[in-house]
Amino acid sequence: MLDVLNRPAADTADTDDPNAPDRLSPAPLRPYLILAVVLCGLYFLYSWVQYTHFRTPSWDLGIFGQSVRAYAEFRAPVVDIKGPGFHILGDHFSPVTALLAPLYWIWPSPAALLFAQAALFASGAVVVGRTTQQVLGSRAAGIGLAVAYGLSWGLQEAVKSDFHEIAFAVPMLALTCRALLLGRWTAAVAWSAPLVLVKEDMGLTVAMVGAVLFLKGQKRLGAALAGFGVAAFALTVLVLIPAASRVGEYDYWSKIEKTGQGAETSFGQVITDALVSGERWEMVIFLLAITGFLALRSPLILLVLPTLGWRFLSQDPNHWGMHWHYSAILMPVVFLALVDAARSVRTSPRAWLAAYGKVVVPVATAVALVLAVNLPLRELLKSETYRTDTRATEARAAVAAVPEGVSVEADVSLLAHLTADHRVYWVGTSKGATPDYLAFDLRGWSQQVSDPVQLASQLHPEARYEITYRSDGFAVLKKV
């Protein structure tokens, strides 16, 4: 990636666009690498503190930790957390996470995944910042927009949500948009096509890259890429995922077909709900507001439609709004769409629009800084963030009470901390297995536990468990 970014600024021999500018503004790599290192440090520090203080927001880090460990050990990506023998490619199609296996050999811990995500997110700042300087001819604009990208709400919420496979898509989409901006059509294809290995819905984003190429006059190449993206999406959700799934189908269709209460929903009702949902529209407004709404003038903005589309149709409230990791992949797209639009309005006959194009990057930077005051990374400025409380101490003792190499069924708060050297199940999904140990969060992820022995007998009537560790917050039980 760095080799691609470090090409001489005046070298346009690799461009496929006969209408591309003869020269790009010079843009040294070093300032953006320094900024990326700082951002990587901030992202990882937040993730590390959250991990070591047992503040995990979901079971996802445990799931990815288990699947990457399987790849590192040259096994099929079986994730027992989702059920004994559960093949993760039957849930989401994300074989790209196998690339983390070498890092896991060096650092066999879920924390390695958090570091990888921090580095991948931060690398996008190099692409966004340097591209901005090359296209708009201003280092201040490049640094400013790189900062706006790095502090954007989509990335900060993704960092807060632990690791997810979409971390790979962020720099790939940044490089795709860069190639489209510079008229390097084959590079755009090369960077976007592998997105189909990140997650199943990315095939539709690849197809939209093809649509942008088509609009820019690359009709044959664009049509081919669009066809590839649609075919990859169909192949993944209709063939590959069902083949690996226990139920023989893509389970996430239910996110559209059913409401949160499990009742069937007509497609007409789904559309109506999507159009009148304030929370869904809120994320769209904030997505565009961080670019001063000027990104709407760039065809690159089309790349956000597939992701926004399935999120609008989903009946799961977790997919709406500004929380979780779902908006991270949109951040490099909207900021580079802003760069494209700012370049295009320079020659606008409307004086006000041309003037706005000159100040929109500082506006976007200021908006990012203002929003950052209420976003997750602000916690790094508070002393209590780093303070180890009683709960974290008790959780650490509970993990230590589970011998290395045994099978264990645990609550969400302990899952990720056990995956590196245990076979781990999630409480309530280990049907068909009898773990050697049980590790309960007595305050409960969904309900409090007053009698862990009784809960053990309910979960596994075929076995008997006795307590080996007990504190106010956690209990560990051994099969006897």
- pLDDT tens over the chain, length 480 residues: 544 454 444 333 345 554 454 467 787 889 999 999 999 999 999 999 999 999 988 889 999 999 999 999 999 999 999 989 999 999 899 999 999 999 999 999 999 999 999 999 999 999 999 999 999 989 999 999 999 999 999 999 999 999 999 999 999 999 999 999 999 999 999 999 999 999 999 999 999 999 999 999 999 999 999 999 999 999 999 999 999 988 888 887 776 665 444 445 555 655 665 555 667 788 888 889 889 899 999 999 999 999 998 888 888 777 787 788 999 999 999 999 999 999 988 888 898 888 888 889 999 999 889 988 989 999 999 999 999 889 999 999 999 999 999 999 998 889 999 999 999 999 878 888 899 999 999 887 656 888 889 988 988 999 999 999 999 889 999 998
DSSP state of 54: T
How far apart are alpha carbons 219 and 231 in whole angstroms?
18
What length does the chain have? Answer: 480
Q: What is the dihedral of CA 373, 374, 377, 383, to 10 degrees?
A: 80
How many CB atoms lie under 10 A from the CB of residue 224?
15
For residue range 157-207, list pLDDT tens digits in order.
Answer: 999 999 999 999 999 999 999 999 999 999 999 999 999 999 999 999 999
**3-class DSSP state of 373:** coil
Strand 423-426 vs strand 407-410: parallel, antiparallel, or unpaired? parallel
Query: Residue 90 is which amino acid?
Result: G
pLDDT of residue 15: 54
How far apart are alpha carbons 273 and 257 in whole angstroms?
12
465: part of which helix (H) or strand (E)? strand 465-470
The predicted model scores a pTM of 0.90
How far apart are alpha carbons 329 and 325 in whole angstroms?
8
Any residues with CB less than 8 A from the CB of 346 and at least 6 apart, and which? Answer: 354, 357, 358
DSSP secondary structure of 272-334: HHHHH-HHHHHHHHHHHHTTTTGGGGSGGGGGGHHHHHHHHH---GGGSSS-SSTTGGGHHHH
In 324-427, the DSSP E strands lie at 407-410, 423-426
What separation in angstroms does the CA of 479 have from each of 134, 424, 466, 474?
Answer: 64, 15, 7, 17
pLDDT of residue 152: 95
How far apart are alpha carbons 192 and 90 in whole angstroms?
23
pLDDT of residue 258: 56
**476 neighbors 469 (Cβ within 8 angstroms):** yes
DSSP secondary structure of 186-227: HHHHHHHGGGGGT-TTHHHHHHHHHHHHHHTT-HHHHHHHHH
pLDDT of residue 18: 46
